[in-house]
């Protein structure tokens, strides 16, 4: 039996499981919800037990799964890797060992990869679409060079105005962007002037992270709300925009302190914190097969220890200064063709000189963001920041800045 035949057979089995589960879950009739849920959870298991893949030798199974992971390297075919991880606990553990982090593989596969640092030697190309009508922003993984293609959905954010600040709620589910959602993973909060922002993670970014108390966290500790609500706000980054007291028109000046990333991470051999599992909330109701999440809540979910409370130990980023183009009469940055529309929102972040041992600036672009259409923007990032952190930083550029412009 050829490998191609094996893959086709496996896809046929998965398709049968998915279709039968789908038919039961969304079948017509007046059955009770509990009855539907019981049947929905039992059908895939029964189908898999009857499958020829149930008793496959571990060595052969690992080899087949490794070949699937290697062959399905891009989206949308890579969803087959996620489907394999969702078959059973045994397959899940094998796939978790086979699939590497974005830092090594340069691929986004499971939801937790959005919280892990990007590739070390290349920018991961994404783009953001803005919906002005409902103040919502969607992050996609670019599948080709066109920013208007049907990319792989990654994250969604919704703008919530409050009397003294503005919040951007970030979720894994584009249809449920709220802090009470089981797919809520963090938020961005601004001050009244829109000059200072704080990025909060819904779970600790490292073993020594401290939660920031808020009304929602106090209610959770008192057990007055649903346990599905995330249990904390952990500050992972602080973004500030320089005040424009003279009122002169010009490029913005950004300053970003990454609370959860050490300054040494940008040096050769440096290491950034890498989350390996989601600790809070439950993604069992996530309405998509494109992503998978382990239910484990083990304490060993971090691959690095706590950072020092001193700012000196944190990575500091600043925007790369543009140059004035005499012929075009405008400020310019080299985005290597990824940005096509001039905008005050466009920026490139590099390591600040204070991170360097010799005080010299690191010119390696860690995050770049720019406009390519009316409501379409590119977002490219790399190690040591994650897609979640990069998305939150880019959201700060959308917010109105009363005192900066």
pLDDT value at residue 111:
93
HEC string for the chain: CCHHHHHHHHHHHHHHHHHHHHHHHCCCCCCCHHHHHHHHHHHHHHHHHCCCCCCCCHHHHHHHHHHHHHHCCCCCCCHHHHHHHCCCHHHHHHHHHHCCCHHHHCCCCCHHHHHCECCCCCCEEEEEEEECCCCEEEEEECCCCCCCCCCEEEEEEEEEECCCCEEEEEECCCCCCCCCCCCEEEEEEECCCCCEEEEEECCCCCCCCCCECCHHHHHHHCCCCCCCCCCCEEEEEEEEECCCCCCCCCCCCEEEEEEEEEHHHHCCCCCCCCECCCCCCCCCCCCCCCCCCCCCCCCCCECCCCCCCCHHHEEEEEECCCEEECCCCEEECCCCCCCCECCCCCEEEEECHHHCCCCCCCCCCCEEEEECCCCEEEEEECCCCEHHHHHHHHHHHHCCCCCCC
**pLDDT band at 313, cuts 50/70/90?**
confident
Count CB-CB contacts under 10 A for residue 35: 10
Task: Report pLDDT digits (tens) over 161-187.
Answer: 988 899 999 999 999 998 888 899 999
CATH for 104-208+231-244+251-266+312-404, among 3.20.90.10, 3.40.1550.10, 3.40.50.2300, 3.40.50.720? Answer: 3.20.90.10
pLDDT digits 0-9 by tens, 33-48: 334 333 333 444 455 5
pLDDT per position as a tens digit, 15-38: 555 444 434 333 334 444 334 333
Name the band, by pLDDT with cuts 50, 70 and 90, for residue 230.
very low
Question: From CA 209, how far away is CA 308, in angstroms rounded?
Answer: 10
Task: Please determine, for residue 228, whether its predicted confidence score (pLDDT) is greater than 50.
Answer: no
CA distances from 359 to 60, 263, 321, 351, 355 (A): 53, 13, 17, 11, 7
Q: In angstroms, what CA-CA distances link 124 with 264, 302, 343?
A: 21, 23, 22
Domain ranges of the chain: 51-99, 104-208+231-244+251-266+312-404
Question: Could you tell me which residues come within 8 angstroms of residue 35 by beta carbon, excluding any fewer than 6 positions away?
Answer: none
Highest-pLDDT range among 131-140, 189-198, 335-344, 361-370: 131-140
pLDDT (0 to 100) of residue 50:
47
Looking at residue 90, its pLDDT comes to 86
The pLDDT mean for the chain works out to: 75
Question: pLDDT tens for residues 67-90?
Answer: 999 998 888 889 999 998 888 888
């Amino acid at each position: 039996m050829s490998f191609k035949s094996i893959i086709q057979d496996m896809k046929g089995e998965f398709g049968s499981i998915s279709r039968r589960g789908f038919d039961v879950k969304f079948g017509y009739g007046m059955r009770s919800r509990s009855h539907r849920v019981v049947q929905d959870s039992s059908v895939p298991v029964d189908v898999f037990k009857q499958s020829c893949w149930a008793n496959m030798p571990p060595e052969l199974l690992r080899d087949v799964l490794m070949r699937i992971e290697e062959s399905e390297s891009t989206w949308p075919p890579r969803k087959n890797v996620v489907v394999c991880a969702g078959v059973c606990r045994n397959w899940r553990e094998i796939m978790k060992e086979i699939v590497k982090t974005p830092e090594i593989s340069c691929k986004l596969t499971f939801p937790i990869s959005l919280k892990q640092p990007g590739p070390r030697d290349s920018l991961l190309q994404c783009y953001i679409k803005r919906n002005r009508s409902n103040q919502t922003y969607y992050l996609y993984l670019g599948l080709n060079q066109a920013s208007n293609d049907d990319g792989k959905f990654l994250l969604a954010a919704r703008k919530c105005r409050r009397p003294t600040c503005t919040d951007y709620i970030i979720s894994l589910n584009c249809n449920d962007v709220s802090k009470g959602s089981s797919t809520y993973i963090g938020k961005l909060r601004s001050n009244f002037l829109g000059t200072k922002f704080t990025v909060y993670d819904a779970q600790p970014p490292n073993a020594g992270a401290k939660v920031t108390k808020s009304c929602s966290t106090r209610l959770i500790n008192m057990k007055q709300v649903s346990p599905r609500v995330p249990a904390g706000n952990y500050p992972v980054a602080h973004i500030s925009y320089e005040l424009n007291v003279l009122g002169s028109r010009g490029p913005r000046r950004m300053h970003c302190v990454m609370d959860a990333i050490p300054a040494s991470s940008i040096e050769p051999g440096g290491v950034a914190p890498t989350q390996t599992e989601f600790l809070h909330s439950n993604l069992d109701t996530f309405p998509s097969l494109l992503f998978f999440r382990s239910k484990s809540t083990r304490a060993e979910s971090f691959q690095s220890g706590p950072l020092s409370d001193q700012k000196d130990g944190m990575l500091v980023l600043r925007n790369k200064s543009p140059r004035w183009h005499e012929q075009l009469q405008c400020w310019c940055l080299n985005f290597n063709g990824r940005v096509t529309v001039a905008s005050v929102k466009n920026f490139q972040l590099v390591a600040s000189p204070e991170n360097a041992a010799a005080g010299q600036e690191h010119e390696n672009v860690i995050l770049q963001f720019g406009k390519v259409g009316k409501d379409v923007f590119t977002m490219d990032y790399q190690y040591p920041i994650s897609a979640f952190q990069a998305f939150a930083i880019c959201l700060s550029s959308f917010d109105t800045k009363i005192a900066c412009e």
